[in-house]
A and B are shown apart, each in its own frame.
Chain A
Amino acid sequence: MPFRLSFRHGVHPPDSKRLTADVAVRRMPFPAELALPLRQHGGKPAQLLARVGDRVERGDKLAEADGFVSVPIHASAAGTVTDVGWWPHPDGSQARTVRIAVERFSPQVPRPRIIPRWEGLTPQQVVEAVQRAGVVGLGGAAFPTHVKLLPPEGTEVHTLVVNGAECEPYLTTDHRTMVEFPDRVHFGIRVMMHALGVDRAVIGVEKNKPDAIEILRDSAPDDLDISVEGLTVKYPQGYEKMLIKALLDLEVPSGKLPIHLGVVVQNVGSLACIAEVFQTGLPLIERIVTVSGPGVRRPSNLIVPVGTKLRDVLEYCDGVTDDASEIIFGGPMMGSPQPDLDAPIIKGTTGVIVLTERESKPKRSYPCIRCGRCLDACPMFLNPSLLGQLAQAARYDEMETAALADCMLCGACSYVCPSNIPLAQMFALSKAALQRQRTRVA
C-alpha cells in the first residue's frame, strides 16, 4: 500500500514542539477565581443548577446535561458561587458563566464518591457514567464522548482508533499524557473496548514522538489487542478522517461519521480522562494544557483546573515577553485568538500559544496566481483556489456544489498560499453564510 500510515496531500509546518516536549506536566495552583461557562462542549449548553451564594466542593455538579448530546459542568475547586452571568468565552463571544471564589485554605479534597466498577457495567451504564462525569473530546473539538459510544442501530463497531497524532505545532498535551500516564491511556482503552464490544484498538502517534510510541508499546496490556503505529509527521494527521485513512486505509464517506465504517475514534487525553472517571470517580474538572510559543517566558505543560482564567495561566508561566502580540487557544493552525485575558480555559482547550509580532504581523495579500499549491495541500482533495474565487464573488451555492461541506477548515490551503489569501477564513465565513441562507429558507 503506497500511503500506509499516512494520507495524501497535507502540509509540513515546523512542529515547534521542542519548547515543551520534554517538560514534565506540573499541577498549577488553584487560582483565586474560576469562570465556568455552561457552554464548553458540542451540543446543547448545560442547564444551570447552582445559585449565587452556594458553597461547592471540588467535583460538585454546577450544571446538568440538557438532553443526550450535552454534558454536565462540575466545580473544579471548592468555593462559593459569586456570580452567574455573562463572561468572556474563548470563542470570542460572551457566554453564561458560573464564577466561583475559590476557598484559599481548602484542602480541595472532593467529597467521598462512588467509583463505578466498569467490569460489571453494561455498555448503556458505561455511557451514562461517562456522560455523568462530563467527559468531552479533549483533542480540541470537545464533542461529548459518550455520544460516540452509542453506535446507531445496525452498525457494528470493529475497531477503536486512538488519536495520539497531535499534529498541531507547539502542542505537547497528548504527548505528555502518553509519556507520563500510559497506564491511564491503556485503562481508558480497556473500558472503551468493553463498552463498545470491540477486540481491536489501534493507537496512531506521529513519529516525532518516538518516546510516546515506545512507552505505549511497552506498557500495552497483554490480554488486549492493542497496536501502536508511528505515523508520518504531517498536518492534519490528527483529523479523524486522515487518521482512519492512515491507520486502516479506509475513507470515511463524505458527510458521514467514522462510525459508518465501524470505527470509533477517541483522543488519548479523553481516554486518560475516562480512566480517571473509573479509577477515582472524579469528573472532568481539570486538563493538561500546553502553554508555549515564542511569546511566553516559561513554556510549560500544566494540569489546569477547568475555568482557570487565561491571565492566571500566563502569570504562572512568568508572563509574556514584551513583543507578545497574539494569544491563541488551541494550536496555531486551527486555534482561535483570544481578545480577553479573562477568558477561561475550558474542557476543549488543548493549548495556550503566545505568538510575537513576528508571527502575527499581517502579510500583504496578492491576487491568486493559480499556482495550485492549495490543491496539493488540501487533505480533502478540494479545489481551494476555485472555492476562494467563488467565495469572493459570494457565490455560495456554487461553493456547495464544489464540496465546501467537506472542508474541515484545517487551514492547510491558507498555510501554503504564496499570495496570502485567507482561504480558510473565507471558507468559514461562507459556511456561516450558507447556514444563514438555509435557516432563512426553513
Chain B
Amino acid sequence: MTEPRLELTASPHLKARDSTPRIMWSVVVSLLPVIAAAIYYFGPSALIVLAAATLGAVLTERAFGSPGSLWDGSAVITGLLLGLTLPPGLPAWMCFLGGAFGVGFGKLVFGGLGQNLFNPALLGRAFLQASFPAALTTWTTWPSEQANWWALRGDNLALPFVTPQVDVVSSATPLGLMKFEATSTELWPLMIGNINGSLGETAGLVILAGGVYLAARNHLNWRIPVSILATVALFAGLLHGLDGARYPGPLFMLFSGGLMIGAVYMATDMVTSPVTNKGAWVFGIGIGLLVVAIRIWGGLPEGVMYAILFMNALVPFINRATQPKVFGRGRVAAESEAPA
C-alpha cells in the first residue's frame, strides 16, 4: 500500500456547502430583477445611478479593505442597495460619493465585514440626504409621461459641486402626496412600480419575490421582513380603522416608499440585525412601529431609513436581551457583549 500524505485538520471534517461569499452573491443575483425593473422604469438614468454607487462602494473596498475582501461580495451589495434607494435623477458623482461613504465610514472604519453596527447602504444614503437634501428629494415624474425612454431623468451627468440643472418635470412620491397634499395614489401602480420614487422603491412585488427566493435558500432571516410587514400592516390597519379619512390603508403603507426594499434587503443585512431569532422578531416589530410613526406623525414623508438605522443601533441590546436559554439551565447572563 502506498503511504498517503496525511493531513491533520480539526473536527468536524464535514462542512455544509454554504459560504459567506455564496450568501452575498446570491443576494446580488436576487437583486437582478429589481435592477431590471428600475432600468425598465427609469431608463439609462437607473443604470448610471446604480453603476456610480456600486463603483464608489467597490473602489473604496478595494482601496481600504483587507486584501481579497472585494470578492466576498458585500461591497457590491452595499453599492447596489444604495443605488436602489436614490432618486433616478441624482448626479452620478453624488451616487459615487454615497457608495464610498457607505463602505468607508459605514463598514471599513469599524473593521470591515461583520464589524459594522449600521447598514452601510443606509448610512451612505443618510449621508447624502444630509449633504444634498434638495437633490435627494427631487423626483422625476413617472416616465410614461416622458416621450423618450432614453432621456435622462435628471442631471445625472452634472459635474461635482455644480448645482444640477433640473429641467425635467418633477412631482412628489405617493408618500409625499399623502403627507403634504393629502392625495392618495391607487394601489395597483404601487405594486408593479409605475410611480414616482427611488429606483428600488417602485416595484414592490419584484422585491418581494427576491425576498422569497433568499428566504427559501436560507440567505435571509424571514422573521425580519415578516415581522416588519405584519407590524406595519396591523398598525396602519388599526389607525385606518379608527379614522379612515385621515390615515391611509395598510396596503398603501406596505407598498409605498422604501418599505419593501427596506424590509427585505436592508433590515435583513445579517451583520446589522440580531443574531437570535427572538431578537429578529423584536427588531422587525420595532422597525414596523417606527416606520408607521415617522410616516404619520413625523416631519418626513418616509421613515424606513431612519427606522432601520435606529433599530440597528439597538441590535447589541436586543442580542443581549434575547440570549437563548441553555439546554438544562436557565438563561445564561450574557454579561459580555462581543468584543469589537
Give the B-binding residues of A (Cβ under 8 A). 11, 13-14, 92, 169, 241, 245, 251-254, 256, 295, 311, 314-315, 319-320, 322, 324-328, 332-339, 341, 353, 355, 359-360, 362-363, 366-373, 375-376, 378-383, 385-386, 389-390, 392-393, 395, 398, 401-403, 406, 409, 411-412, 414-416, 418-420, 422, 424-425, 428
Contacts and interface: CB of A to CB of B under 8 A. Distances in A.
A325 B270 contact: no
A370 B335 CA distance: 19
Interface residues of B, number: 52
Contacts of A315: 1
7 contacts: A252-B328, A325-B6, A363-B15, A381-B324, A382-B326, A383-B323, A403-B332
Interface stretch (B82-90, B107-115, B166-174, B183-191): B107-115
B327 A401 contact: no
B194 interface: no
Contact of A11 (B1, B16, B280): B16
A379 B12 CA distance: 15
A367 B112 contact: yes
Contact of B13 (A337, A383, A386, A406): A337
Chief secondary structure at chain A's binding surface: loop
B39 to A, nearest CB: 29
A4 B113 CA distance: 40
Nearest to A321: B4
B275 A383 contact: yes
A380 B12 contact: no
A92 B11 CA distance: 14
Interface string B320-340: 000111111100111110110
Contacts of A379: 327
A329 B113 CA distance: 37
A366 to B, nearest CB: 4
Chief secondary structure at chain B's binding surface: loop
A415 B16 CA distance: 6
Interface in B106-161: 112-115
The 5 closest A-B pairs by CB, nearest first: A411-B12, A367-B114, A425-B10, A319-B1, A254-B329
Interface in B21-55: 21-23
B271 interface: yes
A253 B329 CA distance: 6
A335 B13 contact: yes
A383 B7 CA distance: 30
B323 A332 contact: no
A372 B221 contact: yes
B325 A390 contact: no
A367 B114 CA distance: 6
Contact of A337 (B9, B16, B113): B9
B10 A375 contact: no
A366 B113 contact: yes
B42 to A, nearest CB: 31
A362 to B, nearest CB: 7
Contacts of B273: 370
A319 B2 contact: yes
Contacts of A393: 339
Nearest to A378: B324
Contacts of B5: 325
Which residue of B19, B275, B319 has the most chain A CB atoms within 10 A of its CB atom? B275
